[in-house]
Amino acid sequence: MGSWILMSQVTCRRASLSGDCRIEGSATQGALGAAMARCRFCQRCWIRLSSLWLLDCRDPIDASPGPTVLGYKPGRASFQSVVRAIRQLVSPYFTDAASRLRAWAMLLLVFACMYWEVSMSIRVAEAVKEMQNELVDKSSETFWPAFWEVVKLRMLVWPIGLCNIAGTTVINLDWRRYLTERTLKLYVNKEQAFYRLGLQYGSVDNPDARIAQDIGSFTRWSCKLMKHFATDVFKIFMNSYALFQISRRLFYSLICFSLLYTAVSLGLFAGPLVRIQRRVLAMEANLRHVLMRLREHAESVAFFGGFQYERACCEKVLSQAIGAEYQQNGVSMLYHLVTEMFRTGLDLLPTLVVAPMFFSGQVTFGTIHQSRLLFKHLMSGMMDLGKELADIAKMGADSLRIQELWDALAALEREEVCKDWDSEKSKIYTDSDGYSSGLSHFQLEELPPHESLRLQVSELTLLPPQGGTPLLRNLNCSLHAGESLLIEGASGSGKSSLLRAIAGLWVQGQGRIRRTRRERCFFVPQSPYICLGSLRDNLLYPLHAGREGDPPPSEEAIGEVLESLGLSQLPLRFGMDQEVDWQKILSGGEQQRLQLARLLLHAHWGEAGAGLPNLRSRFVKGHHKDKEPTKSR
């Protein structure tokens, strides 16, 4: 089948703009009337195109879904995007009121140490010149004082260097903590961004690696480059005058060589190194992701005997990572060759320029050595931008990956604001049956605490997070205090989707859901979740402290619940506050019972113990009943 390109007149109510929307897709995707497109004005709306015109038909295109970690390849990045990403990661730390005082204080300390180191290097060069002159003159009386002066100056540099390293380390770690905490506030929040990110922005691969590793790598390389750049600036300004006094020709030759080297390095190697480094980081994160999945699902893989498939997946990702490393090393070898060619020429330049001046008696022998030292310091300052190109590539790749995560989390935060719009503003288009086809949001409201109504679903039409065919249409139901509601249906009929909508995880669609306050609701997932922490932490999860007006369950209440569910041995074996890996200690059935204990204690917490014995007896009765043999039907 061929592919099609379609155009329709659309209106974006968010951006208050109208215009043509061009989309393309595979002819096997369904009827033309079911085509969907993302709004080109706000880049967030999804619009069902009702009036379509066929413009062109081409060869078949790949209409498969987005790549998994096994096939992910980062795209090209422009220089402007790298600069933007670095600026947005650097600016908050040095401008935020919570961190700027500490950041600038440590930065000024580091700069002061750098200035002192460079000034001491100039004094060392002057002292070495005097020592060399006394050595040539064979004057032992003046040679040894000059020698010990050089030793004293070099020893003074050591504590300054240690102070410089300590200040840079403090900035690195404090900056990393600031960026990580800032990212965690966007990623782990009440809007469940950590859950919605994978649904709506699947292209942002391995957010855990970006938070745990890329941020630390970015701050480390940034501090290193900042330190080198500041040192280079001091070297250039403080060594230029001294070298200029010795030989103007040598000074101008160095500037020309340095500019040529920097232009060649940035022009030929900057783009490829940044792009390859992004791929290396992505492949390494993918390998960790595959191995982590194997560890998490080790029992299932062992039951299936799927070790060959899992090993093949690991080897495939490993091959991609090794291939990316080969590409990076190949470009680095070419870059190293160019660097050594320039370095060889520059090392010989001071001797070629100053030697004729020495033969003509214009300078002393010590001046030759002094010029070489000054030239070496100045050359390193002017060429460091090119020499540190590999580090710049690593920092740029890290910044792009972090910025991609920030952009996706910011987009999720903006979408949360759109939930507050009224239904008329959030409505986009409707199909022939009258159902909304865009990613509008249904209304999710909290009921007052004094009402007997616990849940009310009114005319709910629920869509998947990425849009498409409605999962539920015009659903109505209600639940009052003391009532129970059973949701049943065939697999894929939308039972779990309805629970996600009630919890506020899926919000696309139309209609209204009214439920009791979120902290009064409790959802028990099909797969038990055991948090990191003690037994008490797991029983009271996700609450760490008593809510306002609600005292936490007493030790007696916790003991009664554990005993009624057959878990009374756990506090005796491990205590209530000892942190152990409960995921490995508890069996599957014990983990399910721990979830029931968590539910019972949550009910005790919310209702101050009222009705807990009755509720506990109902769960215990059902628990023992489930142990009896049943007939399948």
Provide DSSP, 104-121.
HHHHHHHHHHHHHHHHHH
- Pick from 16-30, 143-157, 168-182, 567-581: least confident: 16-30
Torsion of the alpha carbons at 271, 273, 277 and 279, rounded to the nearest 10: 60
What's 523's DSSP letter? Answer: -
Q: With 90 as the cut, is the pLDDT of residue 30 above it?
A: no
- Give the pLDDT of residue 75: 55
DSSP 3-state of 10: strand
Record the pTM: 0.62
Q: With 90 as the cut, is the pLDDT of residue 174 above it?
A: yes
Tokens of 110: 């580091």
Q: With 50 as the cut, is the pLDDT of residue 323 above it?
A: yes
Pick the CATH number of 428-483+493-520 from 3.40.50.300, 2.30.30.220, 3.40.50.410, 3.30.450.40: 3.40.50.300
CA distance 510 to 532: 38
CA distance 507 to 493: 18
DSSP 3-state of 613: helix
- Give the pLDDT of residue 46: 45
Tell me which of 10 and 515 has the higher pLDDT: 515
Residues 6+ apart with CB under 8 A from 271: 79
What's 19's DSSP letter? Answer: E
Q: With 80 as the cut, is the pLDDT of residue 2 above it?
A: no
What's 586's DSSP letter? Answer: S
CA distance 466 to 196: 11
For the segment 420-478, what is each residue's pLDDT rounded down to a tens digit? 443 334 343 344 444 333 457 888 888 888 888 989 999 999 988 777 788 889 999 99
| Cβ contact 100:94 at 8 Å | yes
Task: Give the CA count within 13 Å in the CB-facing half-sphere of 333.
Answer: 6
Q: Rg for the chain (alpha carbons), in Å?
A: 34
Type of residue found at 454: R
Let me know how long the chain is.
633
For the segment 584-607, what is each residue's pLDDT rounded down to a tens digit? 888 888 998 998 898 888 876 554
| Cβ contact 367:129 at 8 Å | yes
| Cβ contact 49:250 at 8 Å | no
CA distance 279 to 273: 10
Q: List Cα–Cα distances, 82 to 176, 386, 396, 473, 594, in angstroms.
A: 19, 17, 6, 45, 48
Helices (H), 442-554: 495-503, 535-540
CA distance 9 to 459: 29
Per-residue three-class SS string for 486-510: CCCCCCCCCHHHHHHHHHCCCCEEE
CA distance 227 to 217: 15
Q: List Cα–Cα distances, 520 to 285, 476, 517, 525, 526, in angstroms.
A: 38, 22, 5, 16, 20
The closest of 469, 404, 409 to 35, measured between CA atoms, is 469
CA distance 227 to 266: 20
Residues 6+ apart with CB under 8 A from 398: 214, 215, 217, 218, 221, 281
Output the average pLDDT for the chain. Answer: 74
Residues 6+ apart with CB under 8 A from 121: 157, 235, 373, 377
For the segment 606-617, what is each residue's pLDDT rounded down to a tens digit? 544 444 445 455
CA distance 233 to 517: 59
Residue range 262-283: mean pLDDT, rounded? 79
Does domain 79-408 fall under CATH 1.20.1560.10? My reply is yes
* Burial grade of 444 (CB within 10 A; 0-12, 13-18, 19 or more): middle
Domain boundaries, the chain: 3-58, 79-408, 428-483+493-520, 535-626
CA distance 269 to 129: 39
Residues 6+ apart with CB under 8 A from 206: 69, 282, 285, 286, 288, 289
DSSP 3-state of 524: coil
Kindly report the number of other CB atoms within 10 A of residue 214's CB atom: 23
Type of residue found at 610: A
Q: With 80 as the cut, is the pLDDT of residue 242 above it?
A: no
CA distance 135 to 139: 6
Query: What residues are paired with 254 via a beta bridge?
Result: none
- Pick from 297-301, 328-332, 369-373, 459-463: least confident: 369-373
3-state percent helix, strand, coil for the chain, nearest multiple of 5: 60, 10, 25
CA distance 567 to 560: 10
DSSP 3-state of 476: strand
At residue 136 the predicted structure's pLDDT band, cuts being 50, 70 and 90, is confident
| Cβ contact 344:285 at 8 Å | no
Same topology, domains 79-408 and 428-483+493-520? Answer is: no
- Give the pLDDT of residue 77: 62
At residue 175 the predicted structure's pLDDT band, cuts being 50, 70 and 90, is very high
Type of residue found at 149: E
Tokens of 84: 């933007």
Residues 6+ apart with CB under 8 A from 114: 164, 227, 230, 231, 234
At residue 52 the predicted structure's pLDDT band, cuts being 50, 70 and 90, is very low
| Cβ contact 590:567 at 8 Å | yes
CA distance 47 to 31: 15
Residue range 321-330: mean pLDDT, rounded? 86
DSSP 3-state of 363: coil
CA distance 436 to 428: 7
- Give the pLDDT of residue 438: 44
Residue range 206-225: mean pLDDT, rounded? 88
